[in-house]
Amino acid sequence: MTKKEKKALWRILAGLVLFAAALLLPLTGVARLIAFLVPYFVVGGGVLKEAAGNLLRGQMLDENFLMSLATVGAFAVGEYPEGVAVMVFYQVGELFEHYAVGKSRASIASLMDIRPDYANIRRGEELVQVDPETIKVGDIIVVKPGEKIPLDGTIISGSSMADTAALTGESVPRELAEGDNAVSGCINLTGLLEIQVAKEFGESTVAKILDLVENASSKKAASENFITKFARYYTPVVVACAALLAFVPPIFVGNWSEWIHRALIFLVISCPCALVISVPLSFFGGIGGASRRGILVKGSNYLEALSKAEFVVFDKTGTLTKGSFDVVGVYPKEGTQTQLLTLAALCESYSDHPISKSLKKAAGELPKTADIGKIEEIAGHGVQAEINGKVYFCGNEKLMRREQIEFETPSQPGTVVYLAEAGRFLGAVLIADEPKADASVAIEGLRKAGIRKTVMLTGDAKAVGETVGKTLGLDEVHAELLPGDKVDWVEKLLAQTSEQGKLVFVGDGINDAPVLSRADIGIAMGGLGSDAAIEAADIVLMDDKPSGIVTAIAIAQKTLKIVKQNIIFALGVKFLVLILGALGMANMWEAVFADVGVSVIAIINATRALNTKNL
């Protein structure tokens, strides 16, 4: 509790004692009025002061003013105990609201406590702790066991285990050895590491994640906007109704104090606070809970959209499959297997594509004498490379067709790399990629979560795509697509979704930025260590497990369910008490419950969104 909250608590307690005394003492007339006015001012003095201030500044419909008016009105019609009780409950509710919000704010902040406080740098013989922001690229920092890795860089000496749980939600530590990339925000567990810094603090993973999470709530969900808009009209309308209720019926039926009493009930219920606070609190909790599971959501709007996901479209390589390709067959038409493999590896020597990497891996050390000339990439087809003065074409089926080369396809399914020189087919290399361990569980989970269709888009050969699709149980597979075709397919699928339904695209964020932004929600996997993924997507899964999508959808659905419960519950109770109040069947106690009690319950319900452990 903060100092301010403690002070409020003491005032309430003192007020309660005085209130009880006033109720018990057998006083009458002015003495009784004074006995009730004392606790009233002790508890509500601040509210009255603010109300007066707001009135002077032209803020008529502020909650302090409405509460003051309602309670002063209660005194005016002779209902002294009600006047005090309403004020006391209002203050209790305010205090609780303050406390609960502060609490969840703090617990979410602690979830995101990945900011490194210092970095160790060598000055002569000594290790000095400095602000990570002052470290420059190329500096060498030392990270001791138990410390946070403050900046991104390459490990130049030492080996250790790193705890990535704060970033990924994954409890199994990662191994770190010389030459590996160290990611900021992880905790170094066992060994001393020396790291050569690769990025300044502002550009490092930890700074990017913090920035993303801290700004997440500025993108508001439609239901949040609905509520604030609703609140803008709700208060004036209820206050207007109160005025009508106070002055119109008594003209015809008389009994002024009864009708004014009913109007005061309206004033007590006219604050929209329960709604206005509980909706953003639920989203904030959902986003915070998701980040604890290694799922970064860039805004409440994305969480809301995700709960309405209908189609989930996956990229294949690196998303559903491991992306670690291995050469499984070499089929030379001319020359030996080694010659073919070496040539293919030379053609792809400048590429970082997983297929190129696997070719290089299989070929081993490349001949240093090879003269690599111009290499031109043909997007979606392969490369045209000049090696030792000869022009080679290395790529997929489409490339062979484009160059009008006759080729032979190996009989097993897999990704095939064809090699040709000057119109002559030299041979083919077969590469296969395995689905990730949890991919089929993820697809199954999505179906259970109510996803209507799962689709895979891939640039790979049809046979490969379909084999993977069948193994994992996907509804649709579209293969042999160029990057542009993927966007077209997403547009086609978008047209098939229902009006409310959303399309999710899941990729690795490397080559699919246009698709990620075209989909209703773009999810990038493997955010840890990939800036591209963090920037391109709306939701980032820090690790690269497809089952994270199921968790993300479950969190989104739970959050939205809580939001809906709160809206329906708060509005329902308020309208019910308004109607009962107008009919003379509710008293101020019930009105206070409809205001403060509902706030408290809605806030408690909202904090459930933070708990994502069992999703």
Partner 1 sequence: MKKTFKLQDLDCANCAAKMEQAIKKIDGVTDASISFMTQKLVLEAEDSRFEEILQAAAKACKKVEPDCTILLK
> In angstroms, what is the minimal distance from the CB of 266 to partner 1?
17
> In angstroms, what is the minimal distance from the CB of 611 to partner 1?
17
271 forms part of the interface with partner 1 (CB under 8 A): yes
Q: By C-beta, is 40 or 284 nearer to partner 1?
A: 284
Q: Beta partners for 182?
A: 153
Sequence length of the chain is: 615
Catalytic residue among 113, 139, 211, 315: 315
Encoding tokens for residue 394? Answer: 């290395």
> In angstroms, what is the minimal distance from the CB of 227 to partner 1?
8
Closest CA to 449 of 545, 306, 296, 563: 306
63 forms part of the interface with partner 1 (CB under 8 A): yes
Please, which residues have CB within 8 angstroms of residue 458's CB and are 6 or more apart in sequence?
A: 315, 316, 317, 464, 465, 468, 477, 478, 479, 480, 481
> Which position among 107, 157, 190, 217 is part of the footprint of partner 1 (CB under 8 A)?
217
> Which position among 45, 53, 146, 484 is part of the footprint of partner 1 (CB under 8 A)?
53
40 forms part of the interface with partner 1 (CB under 8 A): no
Closest CA to 459 of 497, 418, 390, 512: 512
Stretch of residues binding partner 1 (CB under 8 A), selected from 266-274, 447-455, 541-549, 577-585: 266-274
Q: By C-beta, is 281 or 594 nearer to partner 1?
A: 281
> In angstroms, what is the minimal distance from the CB of 189 to partner 1?
31
218 forms part of the interface with partner 1 (CB under 8 A): yes
284 forms part of the interface with partner 1 (CB under 8 A): yes
> Which position among 98, 353, 357, 561 is part of the footprint of partner 1 (CB under 8 A)?
98
> In angstroms, what is the minimal distance from the CB of 572 to partner 1?
20
Encoding tokens for residue 134? Answer: 């002052």
Question: Measuring CA to CA, how many Å separate 132 from each of 162, 197, 223, 311, 494?
Answer: 19, 11, 39, 43, 45
Encoding tokens for residue 480? Answer: 């042999």
Closest CA to 287 of 274, 278, 298, 276: 298
> In angstroms, what is the minimal distance from the CB of 291 to partner 1?
13
What values do phi and psi take at 583, rounded to 5? -85, 0
Considering only residues 230 to 259 of the shown chain, the ones binding partner 1 according to CB under 8 A are 231-232
Q: By C-beta, is 105 or 492 nearer to partner 1?
A: 105
Q: Is 426 helix (H, G, I), strand (E, B) or coil?
A: strand
> In angstroms, what is the minimal distance from the CB of 63 to partner 1?
7
105 forms part of the interface with partner 1 (CB under 8 A): yes
Closest CA to 106 of 516, 610, 592: 610
Stretch of residues binding partner 1 (CB under 8 A), selected from 213-221, 319-327, 488-496, 581-589: 213-221
Q: Is 337 helix (H, G, I), strand (E, B) or coil?
A: helix
Q: Is 609 helix (H, G, I), strand (E, B) or coil?
A: helix
Closest CA to 511 of 433, 581, 458: 458
**292 and 312 Cβ atoms separated by less than 8 Å:** no
Does the active-site annotation cover 315? yes
Q: By C-beta, is 11 or 316 nearer to partner 1?
A: 11
Q: By C-beta, is 188 or 223 nearer to partner 1?
A: 223
> Which position among 276, 455, 513, 521 is part of the footprint of partner 1 (CB under 8 A)?
276
Give the position of tokens 């603090």.
Answer: 201
450 forms part of the interface with partner 1 (CB under 8 A): no
103 forms part of the interface with partner 1 (CB under 8 A): no
- The residue type found at 18 is L
273 forms part of the interface with partner 1 (CB under 8 A): yes
Q: By C-beta, is 79 or 538 nearer to partner 1?
A: 538
Task: Let me know the angle formed at the C-alpha of 335 by 331 and 341, rounded to the nearest 5 degrees.
Answer: 55
Stretch of residues binding partner 1 (CB under 8 A), selected from 202-210, 269-277, 317-325, 562-570: 269-277
Q: Would you give the end-to-end CA distance of the chain in angstroms?
A: 31
> Which position among 3, 24, 30, 57 is part of the footprint of partner 1 (CB under 8 A)?
57
Kindly state the helix (H) or strand (E) to which residue 142 belongs, with its residue range: strand 140-143
Give the sign of the dihedral formed by CA 504, CA 507, CA 512, CA 513: positive
> Which position among 44, 158, 185, 272 is part of the footprint of partner 1 (CB under 8 A)?
272
Q: Is 462 helix (H, G, I), strand (E, B) or coil?
A: helix
93 forms part of the interface with partner 1 (CB under 8 A): no
Q: DSSP secondary structure string, 475-495?
A: SEEE-S--HHHHHHHHHHHHH
- From the CB of residue 291, how many other CB atoms can be counted at a distance below 10 Å? 25
Q: By C-beta, is 284 or 393 nearer to partner 1?
A: 284
> In angstroms, what is the minimal distance from the CB of 606 to partner 1?
10
Q: By C-beta, is 218 or 411 nearer to partner 1?
A: 218
Q: Beta partners for 420?
A: 393, 425
How many Å apart are CA 534 and CA 520, to the nearest integer? 17
Q: By C-beta, is 235 or 547 nearer to partner 1?
A: 235
314 forms part of the interface with partner 1 (CB under 8 A): no
> In angstroms, what is the minimal distance from the CB of 545 to partner 1?
29
Task: Enumerate binding residues for partner 1 (CB under 8 A).
Answer: 53, 57-59, 62-63, 98, 101, 105, 108, 214-215, 217-220, 228, 231-232, 271-273, 276-277, 280-281, 284
Among all residues, which ones are annotated catalytic?
315
